[in-house]
Structure 1
């Protein structure tokens, strides 16, 4: 008896106070979230298949049948990089489906570098810690939990689909891309909800703004190369491969790509003008009226995030040159990484790079990529999608503005958008100025924040499914 009481007491002490205060449905969500985070899904040693199987088990416990769930493996070389698609059939066969998309894989995390075990779900100081607690297993857990909660109620009007995929964070195989190309019918929907939105908080955690992401850039690398005959380093020549490439890169760095404004970025800057100081607000209004105004652009581009939001960006990231310390270089090569604005093509950007280099002898070659050849135009900010997000944000986050945004990075939404399936990054999560350790050490997320995000997203999914 004493052993039993001691064990019970130890178990009670081990449960964080916030977990003990949660409602039963929130405790169930926490357990699901914990299981997902503690399933290693890194490309080196993890398995997305295992994570998908564990989420499928939870869905089946909630009443989903084998026919409702498709578990699929990765490629022949990466069989562990698969995932799952689950379907909750709606009551109206004429109403198009909505898709909930989340990637299961996470960035590598070395235990020796972390203060805590990255694959042990921990709660400390009001935060959950662990690799993927924010990117993107919070969404994976919230979306899986939403499918369970929807199953427990009346069938929605629309069919709701859930896709848990692998390969978003790197590696040689991406199952979201595979689904779009090989099994579009499994995930086909009028629109999809994904990561990429969120919000901003200050250093104290106080919410500042919410972000509704509509559109994202596309990643593309280019190889720049110069070649010369070379020769003995004691007899320098004017046509030096390193010098010529360096001069071209300096020209590229000095000449920004032109300002482009989409409906999303126009709406974003219009909202930011309301939150900015008078000189910045004036510059925003000037640029919205005339995107070619250089003075206004210079003021806004002082912010690196805004600089990237306004245009395609291309930056040198790697160099490789020469063959001997005592010889003139016969070859110099650089990698230039571009983030293409929605609607821009690889060939157009290649031409813009060549023009800015100012040297026709520098070759510009796109590197092979799994990304779309063209950055898809941003999905529309329609009343059907954007309207409920605004209305429910007012309810759940009163006084916090909801701002349309374009992601300057990339998500798996690039494949869906390019295939004509509008994909939106959901608001509801407030990131702190340090990025909350995403892709870095000691990744964390606010306990209260993720519970609040769960409530908001469930209401939003329910509203979409009822339309």
Structure 2
């Protein structure tokens, strides 16, 4: 992802009360690893040790390695499509198809990104592109975001093929590049624009959901991502004729910008619920036996309850889920140490709640700044505006049943990501996309996008079996 998987339910994970699951986060002994799990581990290792960062790696090479595994499992040439834009030879991807038996059943799509965030060896304790198992974790860049899920998707299709399983609906797999930076191209965007029929599906399963532990090995929640915010950047700029610094005046571009940013910091967008976030606050709040939980339930029932809002927004994650947020991230001003600034500008990054867009957000920023001398300009990479998929029982119920079987006592809660995924490129071509539960992470984020990224060994193995069953449940529906 983008931001590593942003655990919108992290704070819930710290206080929720799932029972009977401490053993599920414990690492297995070496003798407990099944032969099929060893095969999966080797695939996972190969993917992590294939550098796919935008700075030094190649998604094309990783896609070719996946294609080799699929061919060896029995997939025919017409069931595997390697693709790339010739202008970006390192950013290729792959689409694979396991045909279904019912022509009337629309396909499903398994989505994943091959690329990872850049990582420098000198910053890490271990080589980021070596797959190392220590103390119940797999270490390496991409172990959490998101090569564990990529490996599970590939492994699932291979197991289906080897078992001679014929799904009712066709299962498609799309592994792409460019999700983490998009500096050169985004593979899902390319497919949606150039080859939409290749990935056409009734729905897609993606990253963004998953389980949360309490930080001490106990799994306490499972989430399904149903929607996300839109990411937009705005440049706020002040200009001025400037002059000699020895004769200063109050009309100063840097001061104007500083005043504007102070007003942006103070401005709070209104609370905006959708079906997903209302269900999240209602269910997650009910799982807590504290003032915050009670306030979450009250606010879900009445968004105008200012007392409840004041309690909930003390949690930064929950505040972000409630509303559009804008924050200054970069500043640039002045041209000489002994001159009054002629120009000062700042980048303000906004995560826009569903139901709002760049125009409404820009207008709100202009209103908050209240200075016509400053310009507010939309800038940077533009993803499509995120569209929240429906909370469909056909998607939610199979996941609930499997969560109850694999993780007794752990609730499955719908959540909205405050980050961004490639799901935004699928909505415009009619593919609602859901972030799956299953593999879990810790409250500290497991180093995704940061140093010493890791993923629980037990989570990888149990999550693999869980998602195998979940894909099969959807494929046979």
TM-score where L is the length of structure 2: 0.91
Counterpart of 2:316 in structure 1 is 304
Q: Structure 1, residues 3-61: CA drift from partner, whole Å, max 9, x if none? A: xxxxxxxxxxxxx9845432222121111111111111111221111111111111111
SS in 1 for 2:123: coil
Q: Give the distance between the partners of 1:184 and 1:60, measured in 2 at CA.
A: 24
Residue of structure 2 equivalent to 1:30: 41
Q: What's the offset of the Cα at 1:321?
A: 1.0
1:249 alignment partner, one of 261, 281, 296: 261
The DSSP-based 3-state class of the residue aligned with 2:467 is helix
What's the counterpart of residue 43 of structure 1? 54
Partner of 1:233: 245
- 3-state DSSP of counterpart to 2:367: helix
The offset of 1:235, in angstroms, is: 2.5
Q: In the alignment, which residue of structure 1 is the partner of 2:436?
A: 426
For 1:269 and 1:225, the matched residues in 2 are separated by: 37
> Quick one: distance in 2 between partners of 1:72 and 1:297?
48
Give the deviation of 1:322 after TM superposition. 1.3
Alignment of 1:406-425 (within 5 A): 406-425=416-435
Q: CA deviation at 1:227?
A: 1.2
How large is the Cα RMSD of the aligned pairs? 1.5
1 CA distance for matches of 2:202 and 2:159? Answer: 22
In structure 1, the residue matched to 2:211 is 199
Match of 1:395 among 402, 405, 414: 405
| Corresponding residue to 2:371 among 339, 342, 359 | 359
Whether the 8 Å CA contact 1:89–1:158 is kept in 2: the answer is yes
SS in 2 for 1:112: helix
* Residue number in structure 2 paired with 1:140: 150
CA contact (8 A) 2:204 2:431 kept: yes
Distance (Å, rounded) in 1 between the aligned partners of 2:190 and 2:184: 12
Aligned to 1:327: 339
Gaps of 5+ in 1: 1-15
> CA 1:21–1:284 in 2, change beyond 3 Å: closer, same or farther?
closer
The within-5 A match list for 1:335-354 is: 335-354=347-366
> 1:161 matched to which residue of 2?
172
Alpha-carbon separation, structure 1, partners of 2:325 and 2:269? 7
From 100, 103, 128, the counterpart of 2:113? 103
Q: Which residue of 1 aligns with 2:472?
A: 462
CA distance in 2, matches of 1:359, 1:375: 30
Q: After superposing the two structures, state which structure 1 stretch, 234-243 or 300-309, moved more.
A: 234-243
Higher relative contact order (CA 8 A, sep 6+): 2
User: Shift of the alpha carbon at 1:234?
Assistant: 2.7
> Which ranges in structure 2 are unaligned for 5 or more consecutive residues?
1-26
Taking the aligned partners of 2:289 and 2:177, their CA distance within structure 1 comes to 42
Listed as ranges, the matches of 1:53-202 within 5 Å are 53-76=64-87, 78-151=88-161, 152-170=163-181, 171-202=183-214
SS in 2 for 1:185: helix
Question: What is the alpha-carbon distance in structure 1 between the residues aligned to residue 86 and residue 276 of structure 2?
Answer: 36
Q: Is the 8 A contact 2:48 2:143 kept in 1?
A: yes
Q: SS in structure 2 opposite 1:225?
A: strand
1:292 maps to which of 297, 304, 311 = 304
2: CA distance, partners of 1:310 / 1:67 = 46
Superposed, 1:218-229 pairs within 5 Å as 218-229=230-241
CA deviation after TM superposition for structure 1 residue 270, in Å: 0.7
For residue 62 of structure 1, report the CA deviation from its aligned partner: 1.1
Query: CA–CA distance in 2 between the matches of 1:360 and 1:291?
Result: 32
The whole-number CA distance in structure 1 between the counterparts of 2:285 and 2:28 is: 42
Tell me, in whole angstroms, the C-alpha distance in 1 between the residues paired with 2:98 and 2:375: 52
| 2:196–2:429 CA contact under 8 A, matched in 1 | no
Deviation of 1:194 (Å): 0.4
Q: Deviations over 1:207-232 (max 9, x none)?
A: 11111000011211100011122222
Question: 4+ runs of 1 displaced by more than 6 Å?
Answer: none
Distance 2:424 2:310 in 1: 29
2:28–2:136 CA contact under 8 A, matched in 1: no
